[in-house]
Amino acid sequence: MKRLFILACVSLLAACGGEEFGDLKQELAQMTKDLRGRVDPLPQVKPYEPVAYQADGEVDPFRPERLNVAGPAGSRTVSKLAPDPSRPKEPLEAFPLESIQMVGSLTQTKETFGLVKAGPNLYRVRKGNYMGQNFGVITGIEEGEINIKELVQDSGGEWVERASALQLQEVSKR
């Protein structure tokens, strides 16, 4: 008897499990039977037409001399601060100022010297020596720093002075 009851329940459940949402699927098929996908055609690409440069009588904007026109009054004057190109370079001018470290100072016969490290070498410098790649000249040496006056060009191409200093660096003992 129990088996008969279980068999009847299973057959009823199978009958109820027919196609789910059958009416909805039929209506959707009815509505979309006439629809077809349509893609608009791509727009026509116009061919590139180069334009010739027609400014023969005007100033060429790519000429290097054009930069002179933008300077003050259109002329280049030699600045009083311009570095001397004929001066022989000193060894410390090969190093950027940021890579040079002050490691100490010493005084001999009333003259103060600075001790700087550049690369693997140690150098003794005095007031008037040059160092750094911006035409830096040492203007003073104190116990904890070396004062430097550099010559750099501003945006207009004029040479201007810039004050810099090297601070004493602590050297770690190994």
The confidence score (pLDDT) of residue 70 equals 47
Considering the domain boundaries, does residue 9 fall inside one? no
Using one digit for the tens of pLDDT, what is the confidence trace for 118-155? 989 999 999 999 999 999 999 999 988 999 999 988 87
State how far the alpha carbon of 53 is from the alpha carbons of 59, 60, 69, 94, 167, in Å. Answer: 12, 10, 22, 45, 56
CA dihedral sign of residues 128, 132, 136, 138: negative
**Domain containing residue 122:** 91-167
Using one digit for the tens of pLDDT, what is the confidence trace for 58-107? 776 666 655 554 445 544 556 677 888 888 999 999 999 999 999 999 99
Considering the domain boundaries, does residue 154 fall inside one? yes
Domain count, the chain: 1
Q: What's the CATH number where 154 sits?
A: 2.30.30.830
In this structure, the number of other CB atoms found within 10 A of the CB of residue 134 comes to 17
Considering the domain boundaries, does residue 163 fall inside one? yes
pTM: 0.53
Output the CA torsion 103→107→113→116 (10° steps): -10
